[in-house]
Amino acid sequence: MSHDSTFKTIMVALGVCLVCSILVSTTAVTLNEKQEQNKKRDEIKNILAAGDLLQDNREDFLQIFQERIQPQIIELASGTPLPESEYDKNFTPENFNIKEIAKSSQYSTPLEADQDIAQIKRKPKYMIVYFVKKEGTVEKIIVPVYGRGLWSTLYGFLALDKNLKTVRALTFYEHGETPGLGGEVDNKSWKAQWDGKKAFNDTGELVLQVLKGKVDPSKPGAESQVDGLTGATITTRGVDQLIKFWLGENGYGPFLAVLEKEGANEQE
């Protein structure tokens, strides 16, 4: 083979590689945008599910979200709303990204080992919460929660009744736990157990817990207990710990205290 033929062969091969790389890159960018859109839609559906607003065969879930859900960004430490004047491109309800906020040294702080029961390493300074409203009245409050399981970090939403003491739902929209074991956090029967469970007792103490085994309805405390996941001890402990973290003083504790105080003031 002549040098000329060899050169042409190499150039053709390089040209094919270049075209293929451009096509692959373009496809990846296009698909990534669609994947992000699908993730956002799925996240919204899970918020609606936590608020018991996701209806079968309803394609207008975005409209339901806009009509019934009021997002609000709060400062975790104080539990107070972030003024809209302090919003920027990262701090709007539409663009708020928990993962990006949580890993940012500007918008999060490291957790001490004894505080990090959810194994999230860093605590966001801000979080987004959702008020479920009907005719202007708050019915529920939905808060994002996340924490480490066996193989992954679980991301979900916890819904509390307007009394701030009763759980209405827990749903996860992202995790990588083992199907049939830790993956049973997606099981409808297991999720149904959460509705009506008492998160706080009359003195304000956090009493909600996920057991290693089954709840015995005849024993004291059953009203605050949820069955563990069979064969998934670490995932079960992870869910229990992430709930305790986010409903505690390092999570939404200050926010719930502010809401409770506001509710008490309204009744006076």
Distant-in-sequence, close-in-space partners of 240: CB < 8 Å, separation ≥ 6? 209, 210
What does the domain layout of the chain look like in residue ranges?
49-267
The pLDDT tens digits for 136-173 are 899 999 999 999 999 999 999 999 999 999 999 999 99
169, 195 contact by CB (below 8 A) = yes
Predicted pLDDT at 33: 55
CA torsion 98-101-103-109 (nearest 10°) is -120
CA torsion 255-258-260-264 (nearest 10°) is -170
The token pair at 73 is 């960004």
Predicted pLDDT at 40: 77
Q: Read off φ and ψ for residue 129, nearest 5 degrees.
A: -125, 165
Predicted pLDDT at 37: 67
Predicted pLDDT at 268: 44
Predicted pLDDT at 35: 63
Distances (CA, A) of 140 to 48, 51, 71, 117, 162: 11, 7, 12, 26, 5
For the question of whether the overall pTM of this predicted structure is more than 0.75, the answer is: yes
CA–CA distance, 96 with 241 (Å, rounded to integer): 24
Q: What is the mean pLDDT of each run of 10 residues along the chain (268 residues)?
A: 62 69 60 64 88 76 90 96 86 89 93 96 96 93 97 97 96 95 95 96 95 94 96 96 97 96 62
Predicted pLDDT at 25: 61
CA–CA distance, 184 with 187 (Å, rounded to integer): 5
Concatenate the DSSP letters of all residues of the chain into one string. Answer: --HHHHHHHHHHHHHHHHHHHHHHHHHHHHHHHHHHHHHHHHHHHHHHHHTT---TT---HHHHHHHHEEEEEEETTT-PBPPGGG--TTSSTTT--HHHHHH-TTTEEEPPTTT-TT--SEEESEEEEEEEEETTEEEEEEEEEEEE-SSSEEEEEEEEETTSSBEEEEEEEE--PPTTTGGGGG-HHHHHTTTT-BSB-TTS-B--EE-SS---TTSTTGGGEEPPPTT-HHHHHHHHHHHHHHTSTTTTHHHHHHHHHHHHHHH-
Greatest CA separation for the chain: 96
Strand partners for 169: 159
